[in-house]
Structure 1
C-alpha cells in the first residue's frame, strides 16, 4: 500500500469528511521532509502483521485492550510480540494486544485519570489531540464517547506504533497523522475539544501555540492543556539554560498563575487549573518496552526534588479554557 493510500484510509470520508483532501498533501510534504531511516522497515513490519479478529475491545479502561490470549495460538502470539518490539521504544500506553502487555515508559492512564472527571463530556464530540504520541489518549477519548479523534504528531515512530495498534483494533474513527499543529490551516474552528498535552514547553513561542490551538476550536469549544509548571506567583517563568531533565528543547516553564494570564491574553475564557501533580517514577520509568533512561536518571540522585541540572523536578498541571 502506498503512503498516500495508507493515510487516505485513516481519513475515511465516513469518519473525517473533507479532511483527506485538505491534509493528504501536507502529510506527503512532511514525509518527504522528515523521513526517518527506519520508516521503510516499520511499514514492512506493519504489512506482515497477522490479521486477527479481536474477541474483545476495551478503550475505556486504564489498559487499552484489543483481543485476548485465546484469539491466537502461542506461536502466533510470539510472532506478534516480536513484531511489536521492533517499534521500540514505546513511550505512551499501556496496551494489551491479544494477551501481550505493552508496558510503556509512561503510565498515560494516570494522566487520563487526573483529567477525565474535569473536562466537558466527550460524547459526540470531534476531538483534536496535538502531540498525541502513539495515540493512547486518542483511544481513551474514543472510549469516552468521542464521535471522532484526529491525533497529530510529527514523530514517525509514534505514527507507526499507532498503525500497529490500529491494525489489530480495526477501523474506528481515530487517526494519528504525521503532522504538527502548524500544518492545520489557520482558523479551521472545526473541533469541539482540543488537547495539547506535553507540548507547550517545547514551543519557542507559547503565544503562537495558544493562538494555533484556539484557531482549531469552534466557539465555546474546550481546550485541555497539560504542561510543565513551576511553583510561584504570576510572572514567574523558568527559562532553562541548556537542558531540563535531560530534554534539549524546553523553552518556557511558567507558574500556574502566569499560564492563566497567558490564556486570558490569548483570548480564552474561563481559564482554570484542575490539577497540579509531581511526576514520579510510578508514572514515568524504564521498562522492557522502553529500555533507555527515564525519570529516575534525570533527577539529582541526592535530591529528588531537583533535576540533574539543578532545576525544580518535573511538576505538571492541567488547565481548561473555553474558546470565545
Structure 2
C-alpha cells in the first residue's frame, strides 16, 4: 500500500514560503510535518490516504466556488462504476462536518451549513481580490475555497485535524494548481509576528482557547499593518466585562473556556491593540444549521440542547449564539 508523501503534498508551499521571505517558517514547518507524519503517524493515516487515492482520476475538472456547495464538475458525466468509486472514497472520509460539497453530482450534506455562516460574514468583508489570507481553525477548508471564489490571491488554512486535511485534499486533488493549502498545525505552531497576511479569519476558535487574549495577540501577529481580522465566536448576553466560564462542558463540548458578551469582546480587541472593532452579526445557532446527516451520523446540536427548553444547553447554559466581529491592525 502506498504511503502518504507529505513532502510532495506540501513541497510547493514550502518552496513558495522560502522564496517569499518566509524561510524560517518553511524550516519550522518541515520539522513539524516530519514529526506529524514520519515520527508519530496517526493510526488512521493509511486508511484516509487510501480513500483519497481511490478517488477516480478525472481530467479537465472545473469548479464553482461562489455558491453554497463547493462544486466540482467534469466535462463528461461519470459512469456508474466511477460514481460508485467516488462515493465509496468520500464515505471513507466520514464524518464530514463542514461544507457542503458537490463532487460531480455526489452531494455531501455536512453537519454544518457552513455556507450560512459565510453568507452572514461576506457582506462586511473588505474586497478579498488579490489578498493573502490565513484561515485559523479552517476545518476541511470549506471557507478557504469560498475565499478563493471571491478572488483571494493566496489562502492558507490551518487546522490540526488530519481527517480535515484529507477532506481538503479530496478537493485539491482535482484543483492542484489552486493557490489554496491546508496545513495540519495549530495556531501556536506558527512563528510569532509573521505579519504576512492581509486578512486573518478565526471562526469558531476563540472559545476553545484557555487564554482568549493571547489568541487575539497571536492573530494580530499574523497580520500586516492595516490588515483585517474576522473573528467569529460563541457569545452570551451581558454587559461589558461579563463572560461565562462553564463549570465543565458546554453543549457537551469539553474544551469551552470563555463565552464573553459582545461588549466584552470589543473591550478585548481594544486591549489587544486592534482598532475600529465592530460587531457585524449576532445569530443564534439552530438545529437547521447544525445537525446530523447521512454524512455525519453522530450526535449533533439537537442532542446537546435541553429537551425541555431548547433555548438552553443540556447543562442549563444559554443556547449557542455566535457573533462576528471585524477589526483592523494599526
TM-score (norm 2): 0.94
Q: What is the match of residue 312 of structure 2?
A: 306
Residue 23 (str. 1) matches residue 23 (str. 2): no
Deviation at 1:181? 1.0
Cα separation, 2, equivalents of 1:280 and 1:34: 38
Residue in 1 that maps onto 2:122: 116
* Matched residue, 1:218: 224
Q: What are the superposed Cα offsets for residues 123-179 of structure 1, whole Å, 9 maximum, x if unpaired?
A: 010000000000000000000010000000001110111011211233210001101
Does structure 1 residue 231 correspond to structure 2 residue 223?
A: no
3-state SS of paired residue (1:160): helix
1:6 equivalent in structure 2: 9
Unaligned runs of 5+ in 1: none
Find the partner of 1:272 among 278, 284, 309.
278
SS at match of 1:117: helix
Which protein, 1 or 2, shows the higher relative CO under an 8 Å CA cutoff with sep ≥ 6? 1
2:250 is the alignment partner of 1:244? yes
CA RMSD of aligned residues (A): 1.8
Report the Cα distance in structure 2 between the residues aligned to 1:33 and 1:284, rounded to whole angstroms.
36
Distance 1:256 1:31, change over 3 A: farther
Match of 1:171 in 2: 177
Find the counterpart in structure 2 of residue 260 from structure 1: 266
Measure the CA separation in 2 of the matches of 1:46 and 1:302.
43
Determine which of 301, 318, 327 is the counterpart of 1:321: 327
**Aligned counterpart for 2:197 among listed residues 191, 206, 229:** 191
8 Å Cα contact 2:61/2:175 also seen in 1: no
Distance 2:216 2:76 in 1: 46
Counterpart among 134, 144, 148 of residue 142 in structure 1: 148
TM-score scaled by length of structure 1: 0.95
Counterpart of 1:151 (choices 154, 157, 161) is 157
SS of equivalent to 1:79:
helix
Counterpart residue number, 1:161: 167
Q: Decide whether aligned partners of structure 1 residues 16 and 233 sit closer, same or farther in structure 2, where only a CA change above 3 A counts.
A: farther
2 CA distance for matches of 1:14 and 1:54?
28
Cα distance in 2, alignment partners of residues 127 and 54 from structure 1: 27
The answer (yes or no) to whether the contact 1:66–1:169 under 8 Å persists in 2 is no
Partner of 1:181: 187
**CA gap 1:227/1:16 in 2 versus in 1, 3 angstroms:** farther
Matches within 5 A, 1:87-102: 87-102=93-108
1:5 Cα shift? 2.2
Q: What is the distance in 1 between the residues matched to 2:178 and 2:211?
A: 34
Deviations 1:89-124 (A, max 9, x none): 000000001111011000000000001010111101
Deviation at 1:7, TM superposition (A): 1.8
Structure 2 vs 1, CA of residues 199 and 14 (structure 1 numbering), >3 Å: closer, same or farther?
A: closer
1:128 aligns with 2:159: no
Residues 68 and 97 in structure 1, CA contact (< 8 A), matched pair in contact too: no
The whole-number CA distance in structure 1 between the counterparts of 2:152 and 2:322 is 25
Unmatched runs of 5 consecutive residues or more in structure 2:
none
Shift of 1:55: 4.6
Q: CA deviation at 1:4?
A: 2.1
2:53 to 43, 47, 72: 47
What aligned pairs does 1:53-64 form with structure 2 within 5 A after superposition? 53-64=59-70
Q: Which moved more, 1:11-20 or 1:45-54?
A: 11-20
Equivalent residue in structure 2 for 1:78, among 81, 84, 87: 84
User: What is the CA–CA distance in structure 2 between the aligned matches of 1:117 and 1:239, rounded to whole Å?
Assistant: 31
